[in-house]
């Protein structure tokens, strides 16, 4: 059975090959079939460029030499116990492919700005931060992890990246991340096990993201989920449409009940805009929420976080 439907790279190679006066263009089936596939294909190009500048060995050395990572999952659990609300992972991002630029004045640690977004999230009660590192599609960057940490933010940081190779895992740790995102729609279980092992080797925890019951069933078959939590993305990464009911449907499945039985923390992601939405995913069994758009676009991120988590 095919584990993933996302093709990791163009089936017929790069876009064009030059042969003397003739240019061979890629075939029609070599076009990405959806946004997620386009993003993943670009990662291959991007990682190749990184490797040319900084070899894998140097990145691994920098990752292992970094200060000890913070306890990402522990911070979520502590916040949930303290507030009786799901622990909030607040997302630092400027844009997304689905809606374009969210916050035109975005700079995660711009000292000239009235509101420093990352610090405001922390003051407002966020347990952790999710930092978009994809540059082409989300206008992010790995440097934002470093800048946010240097600005004095203490809460753990999630590297929100479309990870397909261990190079990205080590780059995340070297940049200051405490956890990484791994997407089930992109990674078969063999790759998922390998990347979890790579993350553990440098002290990173993992947020494993699923979109369907089938993906969750597959993730529960992984070798070892120690140091991992799960997340349900209510945004279909192929169409980018959002359905908050996806969380309820997945958590009511046998696989969802197995998550609760095994005591694995589940995060509800995307489509969470109001305290009622928070209550909805919490009642479904989520001990964490990952929220971006609804608080990023607010003029006062600290107040937006407090409002979202209010009783």
* 3-class SS letters over the chain: CCCCCCCCCCCCCCCEEEECCEEEECCHHHCCCCHHHHHHHHHHHHHHHHHHHCCHHHHHHHHHHCCCCCCHHHHHHHHHHHHCCCEEEEEECCEECCCEECCCCCCCCCCCCCCCHHHHHHHHCCCEEEEECCCCCCCCCCHHHHHHHHCCCCCCEEEECCCCCHHHHHHHHHHCCCEEEEECCCCCHHHHHHHHHHHHHCCCEEEEEECCHHHHHHHCCCCCCCCEEEEEECECCCCCCECCHHHHHHHHCHHHHHHHHCCCCEEEECCCCCHHHHHHHHHHCCCEEEECHHHHCCCCHHHHHHHHCCC
More confident residue, 158 or 295: 158
Q: Reply yes or no on whether the pLDDT at 51 is more than 70.
A: yes
> What pLDDT, on the 0 to 100 scale, is given for residue 95?
39
**What is d(CA 72, CA 190) in angstroms, rounded to the nearest whole number?**
24
Q: Reply yes or no on whether the pLDDT at 22 is more than 70.
A: no
> What pLDDT, on the 0 to 100 scale, is given for residue 32?
84
Using alpha carbons only, give the angle 46, 215, 158 rounded to the nearest 5 degrees. 50
Each residue of 124-136: pLDDT tens digit? 999 999 999 999 8
> What pLDDT, on the 0 to 100 scale, is given for residue 238?
66
More confident residue, 105 or 90: 90
More confident residue, 70 or 34: 70
**What is d(CA 117, CA 275) in angstroms, rounded to the nearest whole number?**
20
> What pLDDT, on the 0 to 100 scale, is given for residue 18?
47
> What pLDDT, on the 0 to 100 scale, is given for residue 151?
87
Q: Reply yes or no on whether the pLDDT at 30 is more than 90.
A: no
Q: How far is CA 19 from CA 3, 28, 30, 44, 141, in A?
A: 37, 20, 19, 23, 36
> What pLDDT, on the 0 to 100 scale, is given for residue 113?
41
Q: Reply yes or no on whether the pLDDT at 109 is more than 60.
A: no
pLDDT band at 101 (very low <50, low <70, confident <90, very high): very low
Hey, which CATH number is domain 68-309, 3.30.70.890, 3.40.50.300, 3.20.20.70, 2.60.40.10? 3.20.20.70
Q: How far is CA 18 from CA 15, 23, 41, 166, in A?
A: 10, 5, 20, 31
> What pLDDT, on the 0 to 100 scale, is given for residue 15?
56
Span 146-164, average pLDDT: 94
Average pLDDT, the chain: 87
Q: Reply yes or no on whether the pLDDT at 230 is more than 90.
A: yes
Token pair in block for residue 266: 């589940």
Query: In the chain, pLDDT over 70 holds for what percent of residues?
Result: 85
Work out whether strand 100-101 and strand 95-96 pair parallel, antiparallel, or are unpaired.
Answer: antiparallel
pLDDT band at 93 (very low <50, low <70, confident <90, very high): low
Mean pLDDT lowest among 7-21, 243-257, 260-274: 7-21
> Is-contact 186 43, C-beta < 8 A?
no
Contacts 24+ apart (CB under 8 A), 171-174: 171/50, 171/59, 171/63, 171/142, 172/133, 172/142, 172/145, 172/204, 173/63, 173/66, 173/69, 173/202, 173/203, 173/204, 174/59, 174/62, 174/63, 174/66
pLDDT band at 94 (very low <50, low <70, confident <90, very high): low
Q: Reply yes or no on whether the pLDDT at 181 is more than 90.
A: yes
Mean pLDDT lowest among 75-84, 131-140, 162-171, 215-224: 131-140
pLDDT band at 58 (very low <50, low <70, confident <90, very high): very high
> What pLDDT, on the 0 to 100 scale, is given for residue 6?
83
Span 109-113, average pLDDT: 39
Q: Which residue has the tokens 């990205």?
A: 168
Q: Reply yes or no on whether the pLDDT at 147 is more than 60.
A: yes
């Amino acid at each position: 059975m095919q584990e993933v439907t996302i093709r990791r790279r163009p089936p017929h190679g790069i876009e064009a090959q030059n042969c003397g006066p003739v240019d061979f263009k890629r075939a029609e089936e070599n076009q990405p079939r959806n946004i997620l596939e386009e993003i993943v294909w670009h990662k291959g190009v991007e990682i190749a460029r990184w490797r040319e500048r900084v070899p894998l060995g140097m990145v691994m050395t920098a990752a292992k030499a970094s200060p000890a990572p913070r306890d990402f999952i522990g911070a979520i659990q502590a916040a949930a116990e303290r507030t009786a609300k799901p622990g909030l992972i607040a997302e630092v991002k400027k844009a997304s492919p689905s809606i374009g630029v969210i916050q035109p004045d975005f700079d995660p640690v711009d000292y000239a700005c009235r509101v420093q977004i990352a610090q405001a999230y922390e003051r407002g009660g966020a347990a952790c931060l999710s930092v978009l590192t994809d540059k082409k599609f989300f206008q992010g960057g790995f440097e934002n992890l470093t800048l946010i940490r240097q600005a004095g933010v203490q809460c753990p940081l999630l590297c929100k990246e479309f990870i397909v190779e261990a190079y990205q895992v080590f780059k995340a740790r070297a940049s200051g991340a405490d956890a990484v995102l791994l997407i089930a729609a992109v990674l078969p279980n063999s790759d998922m096990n390998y990347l979890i092992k790579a993350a553990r080797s440098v002290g990173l925890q993992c947020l494993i993201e699923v979109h369907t019951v089938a993906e969750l069933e597959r993730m529960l078959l992984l070798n070892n989920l120690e140091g991992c939590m799960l997340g349900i993305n209510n945004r279909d990464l192929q169409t980018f449409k959002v359905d908050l009911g996806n969380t309820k449907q997945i958590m009511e499945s046998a696989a969802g009940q197995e998550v609760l039985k095994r005591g694995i923390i589940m995060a509800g992601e995307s489509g969470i805009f109001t305290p009622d939405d928070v209550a909805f995913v919490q009642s479904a069994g989520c001990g964490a929420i990952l929220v971006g758009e609804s608080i990023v676009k607010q003029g006062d991120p600290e107040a937006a976080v407090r409002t979202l988590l209010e009783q």
